[in-house]
Amino acid sequence: MRWSRGHDSSSLEDRRGGGGKIAGGLGIVGTLIAVVLSLVFGVDFTGLLGGGGAGGGEPIPEDQDRDLELKQFTAFVLDDVQMTWAKLEPRYRPAHLVLFTEAVQTRCGYADAGVGPFYCSGDERVYIDLSFFRVLDAKFGAPGDFAQAYVIAHEIGHHVQHVTGVFETTARLGQRDPSRKNELSIRQELQADCYAGVWAHHTGKRDLLEAGDIEEGLGAAAAVGDDTLQQRAQGHVQPETWTHGSAQQRAKWFKTGYQAGDPDVCDTFSAGAP
C-alpha cells in the first residue's frame, strides 16, 4: 500500500508507555475474579488490584520505539479510513484509536491483548496492541501491510455501525431473542468486513493500492474466519459456536464491498444466508 511515512494522527492515542498491565500483573482473569467476589460478598475487592490498566505513562521515545513505522502506518490508515467514511456517511463522526501493550482499561471493561483488536462503542475507540500484526503474519499466515490495514478498516467499520445505530439494534434483537445472538453477531462482523472492502475500493480510486494488496486483505479476512481459527486451535470446527463467520463468508463480504465501493451493498442483515 502506498502511504506517507512519518504520518501522525490527532485521532491516535499511544498508551504503550505504561505497559498497560491489569491489576498489578494479575491480568483480566484476576480482575474478573475480584469483580465476582465483590458481587458475592458485597465488598469491593477490586481496590486490591491496584491502579493499573489504563496503559498510560510516559510515551516511548521515537529512537527507542521498534514499532515506530507501524505506528505511523496505523495512523495513516486510520485517517484515510475516517476521511473516506466522512464522505460516505453524513452521520459519521471520528473515532479514536488507542495503541496499548498487554492490556488496557476501556469503558467496555478490561481487556488483554489476547482478545485481539476490538472496538468499544462506550468510548468510541478502537484498541490495538501492535504485536497482533506480527501474530497475524507469523501465526495466522496473513502477511503484508494491507492485511494490517484491513484489520483497522474492519474495526472502524464497527464504529460506522455504532454511528448509524446498527450496534444498538443488533443488541436489542439479541436480547429479545437470545437464540439469534450468534447469528446476529456474525452478520454484524460480516458487515464490518464489507465496510472494510468499501474503504479498499476508494483507496484504489486514489491510487493507493499496490499489486497484491487486495489479495492480502482477502487473506487476512479468511485467516480470522471462525472455522480457520477453530481448526487451528482444536482440530475441528463447531459452526453453532461461530460469532464472526467462516473464512469464505468473511472474504466474500470484503470482496463484495471492494467491488461495489458502496455501503448500501453491505446489508448483511437482510441477506439470506450470509
**Which DSSP state fits 22?**
S
Q: Which residues fall within 8 angstroms of residue 145, CB to CB, at 6 or more apart?
A: 1, 3, 73, 216
Q: Residue 110 forms beta bridges with which residues?
A: 105
100 or 23, higher pLDDT: 100
Confidence check: pLDDT of 63 > 90: no
Name the pLDDT band for 273 (thresholds 50, 70, 90). Answer: low
Rg (CA), the chain: 19
pLDDT on residue 54: 45
Cell digits for 108? 467496555
CB 223 within 8 A of CB 247: yes
Among candidate residues 170, 181, 182, the one with its CA nearest the CA of residue 267 = 170
CB 93 within 8 A of CB 148: no
How far is Cα 103 from Cα 109, in angstroms, rounded to an integer?
A: 11
The CA distances from residue 237 to 109, 169, 187, 228, 240, in Å, are 29, 29, 19, 8, 9
Residue 62's Cβ-count burial label (10 Å; 0-12, 13-18, 19+) is exposed
Name the pLDDT band for 85 (thresholds 50, 70, 90). Answer: very high
**Which DSSP state fits 59?**
P
Domain boundaries, the chain: 12-20+55-266
C-beta atoms surrounding 94 within 10 Å? 18
pLDDT digits (tens, 9 = 90+) for 92-116: 999 999 999 999 999 999 998 888 9
Among candidate residues 17, 12, 27, 13, the one with its CA nearest the CA of residue 110 = 27
